[in-house]
Amino acid sequence: MKKNPWLYIPSLYLAEGFPYIIINIVSTVLYADLGFSNEKIAFWTGWLYLPWILKMFWSPLIDAHSTKRRWLLSMQCALGILFLALAGTIAWEAFRFANQTGSLTFFSLSLFGFLLGSFLSATLDIATDGYYLLALNPVVQSKFVGIRTIFYRLAMILGSGPLLSLIAWLSAPNAKSEPVLLPWPYNWTVLFAFLGVLFLFFTLYHMHILPRPRQDVSVQSSGSTAWKEAFRTYFTQKNITLILAFILLYRLGDAFLEKTVPLFLLKSQSDGALGMSVQSYGLIKGTLGLGAVILGNLAGGWLLGQYGFKKCIWPFAVILILPNFFYAYMSWSHPSATVVTALITLEHFGNGLALMAFSVFIMYISQGSYKTSHYAISTGIMALGMMIPSMASGWLQMKLGYTCFFVLASLISLVTLAAVPLAFKIKSIEETEASFRTHKHSLEDAS
């Protein structure tokens, strides 16, 4: 029996988005709340991007062994167990860490947990994106590309917004000087326990609801042959040099903000930051950011559908680099909370808009029998472009100060505009977009 994609596409991409934001952003907020230095936080959490880079090397094995459905269910279950283990680790170490800031034991154990989670999450990405390409025919894919992006971004905003605000509220002192609901930092235990239960629920729900596409079978080749063929077909496609340059450069300015912005918002004003509370951070990034990013995704999907990738990419790229200039201004002037909130909301809207184009770009260049692997290779290369600048960002910020750092990041972000003309020379973008728009693909083409 054919099932409505609305029953499983939103929940699949919620489950895909949560681990990424928890591991790469919420870990940064956690360590900032516990008092670690910007340099240490940015450098070590920057390594958490590594599995998203390396996933291109094991993605062919996922094509060659078992089904995407089984892979994604296994990864969701494993993430649920891991988040519960992290909750236990935080509870076990919290009291000692609260009294011995910088506890190597806690930092090492939690970082190892996040690193293991990043490998599981990267594998979940491969399986989920591959399942999407196999479960839906190209016409339905084009209709749901905006929906899947919205729910992926929704998970990211919920994870870095309302959930953070809630766990901060659990341990926030109140005006009546009554005891807090939960001693800090045990509130972080609640967050990870909730995530563990949530992912076990996702596993059970998807076991019941996910259809079994007839195309969802292992590629008939050995693991080594699958690996070789996936990489050969990817790196021998037309305009591969231009494709790689676009993937690496489009989000370069964004990469410098990934780790530093949470630190800038949360760290003390005496250090040149804004000194925002975790609760305020969650409310601004969540409540307002949630609506902004959804509007941006909806607007981006509609504009791409109406005018196509090549007509939208220039304005989208300009919008993508604006937040660098926003933060340069905020670090220089330390504006009112209203102005900060407005600029962060605009940042989310712009990212929701601009990253739609990037998602479509990767989808359009992922073709043939190994399209799952091609998608993973592209996102792995993108992660490499994000990892190196983000790792260096903490060291640069501490050397330059917030204002000079954000000015430098703004200048570097202009490279994005140099990447845009490259997209106009990539033949597969125009060919695939034309085929999607005229609905000439068949269900067999999706395999």
Mean pLDDT (the chain) is: 83
Cite the DSSP H helix spans in 308-370.
309-333, 337-365
User: Which pLDDT band holds residue 218 (cuts at 50, 70, 90)?
Assistant: low
State mean pLDDT over 59-72: 80
Q: Please report the DSSP string for 213-279 in residue order.
A: -TT-S--SS-HHHHHHHHHHHHHTSTTHHHHHHHHHHHTHHHHHHHTHHHHHHHS-GGGTS----HH
Given a cut of 60, is residue 399 above it in pLDDT? yes
Q: How many CB atoms lie within 10 A of CB 181?
A: 12
User: Which pLDDT band holds residue 158 (cuts at 50, 70, 90)?
Assistant: confident
Choose the most confident range, by mean pLDDT, from 71-75, 259-263, 268-272, 374-378.
71-75
Given a cut of 70, is residue 53 above it in pLDDT? yes
Give pLDDT, residue 408.
95
Q: Note the pTM of the prediction, 2 decimals.
A: 0.76
State mean pLDDT over 424-430: 77
Give pLDDT, residue 325.
95
Q: Do residues 389 and 254 touch, judged by C-beta distance below 8 A?
A: no
Give pLDDT, residue 443.
30
**CATH match for 5-446 among 3.30.365.10, 1.20.1250.20, 3.10.129.10, 3.40.720.10:** 1.20.1250.20
Token pair, residue 105, equals 């034991």
Mutual angle of helices 187-209 and 9-21, in 10-degree steps: 150
Question: Using omega within 30 degrees of 0 as the cis cutoff, is the peptide bond preceding 323 cis?
Answer: no
Given a cut of 50, is residue 120 above it in pLDDT? yes
How far, CA to CA in Å, does 4 sit from each of 10, 131, 135, 141, 149?
Answer: 11, 15, 11, 13, 18
**Hunting for tokens 């077909």 — which residue is that?**
233
- Evaluated on CA atoms 327, 266, 42, 126, the torsion sign reads negative
Would you list the domain boundaries of the chain? Answer: 5-446
Given a cut of 50, is residue 254 above it in pLDDT? yes
Given a cut of 50, is residue 410 above it in pLDDT? yes
User: Which pLDDT band holds residue 68 (cuts at 50, 70, 90)?
Assistant: confident
What is d(CA 125, CA 291) in angstroms, rounded to the nearest whole number? 24
State mean pLDDT over 244-268: 90
- In the chain, the amino acid numbered 443 is L
Q: Residue 178 gets which letter from DSSP?
A: P
Question: What's the farthest any 2 CA atoms get from each other in the chain?
Answer: 67
Give SS3 for 196: helix
Token pair, residue 132, equals 């999407």
- Mind listing the pLDDT tens digit for each residue in 276-330? 888 888 888 767 777 788 788 788 878 887 888 888 889 999 999 999 999 999 9
User: Which pLDDT band holds residue 104 (cuts at 50, 70, 90)?
Assistant: low
Given a cut of 70, is residue 1 above it in pLDDT? no
Q: Do residues 410 and 326 touch, judged by C-beta distance below 8 A?
A: no
What is d(CA 195, CA 419) in angstroms, rounded to the nearest whole number? 38
Give SS3 for 324: helix
What is d(CA 428, CA 330) in angstroms, rounded to the nearest whole number? 41
Determine what percent of the chain is predicted with pLDDT higher than 70.
88
| Nearest to 253, CA basis, from 73, 389, 387, 384 | 389
- Mind listing the pLDDT tens digit for each residue in 340-368? 999 999 998 998 888 888 888 888 887 77
Segment (H or E) for 156: helix 138-160
Give pLDDT, residue 213.
81
